[in-house]
């Protein structure tokens, strides 16, 4: 997002993480990809902020003029909202949002001079990097309300039920699916996973390893539009209970993320099926992509003992049970599916030790499912072949 630091007026559209218009421009930096990953914890991908900011500078005259006039501010959407909502017009960014820009060093908790130079972005245009808990200013909302916590949706969800457990995986499935596990110290460079910081305050810094699936809810929306399935949300629970074997779906909706990382992957079905079977194949592909990331987690660090699942798509019992069966891990689905607000509240409350759930959720225990495991094996072979021949 780009805006005028004097008036607060927006100078660009909001560019979603799904917007990859600068993919080709970013490809010129491929020789630096490993160094970028080691510094930021991110893959060299147009999903993140640097290429979007560069695109705005190069293609939007109002943005270029504001930069020349020393009036331009740009950065994550959270920073624009903080600027517009606070009386003080605070220009700041929290660690979780800053760490999704390709410009933030996980070792310094600040913008990295080398990356700023690489992508041609001036430090002076960016918000100041501050902790998660910070005096961001006062909200003018009838009375002056202090703004003390700013973070991202996935990072907040990690704290929905208090301090995260080291041997639990945390899965949030919405438009995309994001599986995280915490690390008590900086976990370093992991070639096919992301590393991030989800909390930094006076007491601690919490790092995570993350596997990113871009096409979760977005993939279901895609297949609904492609096949004209206006009632997919209502029908999918029953379709997931049917025994008929669907085709396989090689899912690159929104760009193929972890652990394969192919930005322009062409999604496709392997095999034939009726529309309902194709919808089930797309839902299963989300489970398969999550499992591919869980296998990396199990190789790199101490084994996970359980998965805590939140987000809108966890309402599908059939999806949660498939995930338990395939991973061999019990999957816990809290009653409160939408974890972001609850996690933000826990942070705002000062991270209390006692943060009980109002109601107990549902456990999905692993069951023998040889058919699903065989389908996953076939899907993984197909994915590995397609990715390898690119």
| Contacts (Cβ under 8 Å, ≥6 apart) of 100 | 17, 42, 48, 49, 76, 152, 196
Query: With the C-alpha atoms ordered 339, 340, 341, 344, is the resulting torsion angle positive or negative?
Result: positive
pLDDT, tens digit (0-9, with 9 covering 90-100), for 88-110: 999 999 999 999 999 999 999 99
Q: Which of 93, 121, 149 lies at the terminal end of a domain, its last residue? A: 149
Q: Residues 52-95: pLDDT tens digits?
A: 999 999 999 999 999 999 999 999 999 999 999 999 999 999 99
Distance CA 253, CA 265 (A): 8
Domain endpoint, select from 132, 149, 166: 149
With beta carbons less than 8 A apart as the criterion, state whether 307 and 361 touch: no
Do 308 and 362 belong together in one domain?
A: yes
- pLDDT tens digits, one per residue of 324-374: 999 999 999 998 767 889 999 999 999 999 998 888 999 999 999 999 999
pLDDT at 20: 86
**Do 223 and 331 reside in the same domain of the chain?**
yes
**Within this chain, do residues 123 and 270 fall inside the same structural domain, yes or no?**
no
Phi, psi (degrees; rounded to nearest 5) at 136: -75, -10
Q: Are residues 215 and 76 in the same domain?
A: no
141 has which bridge partners?
Answer: 143
DSSP designation for 42: S
In a domain, 24, yes or no: no
Mean pLDDT of the chain: 93
Q: Within this chain, do residues 142 and 255 fall inside the same structural domain, yes or no?
A: no
Identify the domain containing residue 130 by its residue range: 2-18+30-149
> What do you get for the CA distance between the two ends of the chain, in Å?
33
Domain ends where: 99, 115, 149? 149
Structural domain contains residue 167: yes
In the DSSP assignment, the letter for residue 86 is B
Residues 320 and 190 both lie in one domain: yes
CB 259 within 8 A of CB 212: no
CA distances from 352 to 147, 163, 263 (A): 19, 9, 41
CATH number at residue 73: 3.30.420.40
CA dihedral 294, 295, 299, 304 (to 10 degrees): 40
Confidence of residue 388 (pLDDT cuts 50, 70, 90): confident
pLDDT higher than 80, residue 301: no
| Angstrom distance (rounded) from CA 15 to CA 7 | 21
- Beta carbons of 334 and 342 less than 8 angstroms apart: no
Tokens linked to 329: 């891990």
User: Shortest CA distance to 301 belongs to which of 159, 184, 198?
Assistant: 184
Q: Same domain, yes or no, for 181 and 101?
A: no
* pLDDT over 90, % of the chain: 83
């Amino acid at each position: 997002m780009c805006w005028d630091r004097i008036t607060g007026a927006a100078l660009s559209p909001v560019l979603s993480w799904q917007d990859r218009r600068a993919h080709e421009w970013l490809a010129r930096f491929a020789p630096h990809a490993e160094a970028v990953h080691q510094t930021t914890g991110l893959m060299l991908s147009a999903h993140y902020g640097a290429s979007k900011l560069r695109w705005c500078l190069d293609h939007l005259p109002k943005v270029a003029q504001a930069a020349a006039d020393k009036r331009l501010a740009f950065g994550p959407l959270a920073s624009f909202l903080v600027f517009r909502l606070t009386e003080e017009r605070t220009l700041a960014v929290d660690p979780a949002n800053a760490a999704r820009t390709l410009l933030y060093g996980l070792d310094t908790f600040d913008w990295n001079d080398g990356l700023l130079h690489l992508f041609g972005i001036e430090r002076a245009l960016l918000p100041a990097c501050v902790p998660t808990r910070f005096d961001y200013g006062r909200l003018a909302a009838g009375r002056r309300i202090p703004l003390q916590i700013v973070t991202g949706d996935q990072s907040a969800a990690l704290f929905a039920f208090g301090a995260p457990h080291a041997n639990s995986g945390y899965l949030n499935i919405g438009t995309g699916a994001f599986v995280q596990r915490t690390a008590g110290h900086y976990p370093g460079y992991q070639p096919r996973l992301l590393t991030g910081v989800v909390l930094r305050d006076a007491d601690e810094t919490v790092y995570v390893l993350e596997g990113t699936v871009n096409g979760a809810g977005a993939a279901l929306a895609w297949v609904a539009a492609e096949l004209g399935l206006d009632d997919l949300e209502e029908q999918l629970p029953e379709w997931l209970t049917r025994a008929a074997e669907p085709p396989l779906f090689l899912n690159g909706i929104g760009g193929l993320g972890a652990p394969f990382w192919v930005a322009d992957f062409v999604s496709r079905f392997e095999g034939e099926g009726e529309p309902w079977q194709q919808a089930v194949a797309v839902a299963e592909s989300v489970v398969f992509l999550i499992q591919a990331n869980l296998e990396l987690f199990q190789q790199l660090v101490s084994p996970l003992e359980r998965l805590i699942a939140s987000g809108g798509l966890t309402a599908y019992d059939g999806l949660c049970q498939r995930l338990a069966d395939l991973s061999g891990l019990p999957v816990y689905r809290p009653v409160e599916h939408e974890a972001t607000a609850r996690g933000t509240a826990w942070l705002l409350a000062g991270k209390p030790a006692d943060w009980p759930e109002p109601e107990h959720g549902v456990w999905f225990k692993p069951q023998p499912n040889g058919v699903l495991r065989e389908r996953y094996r076939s899907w993984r072979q197909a994915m590995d072949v397609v990715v390898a021949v690119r």
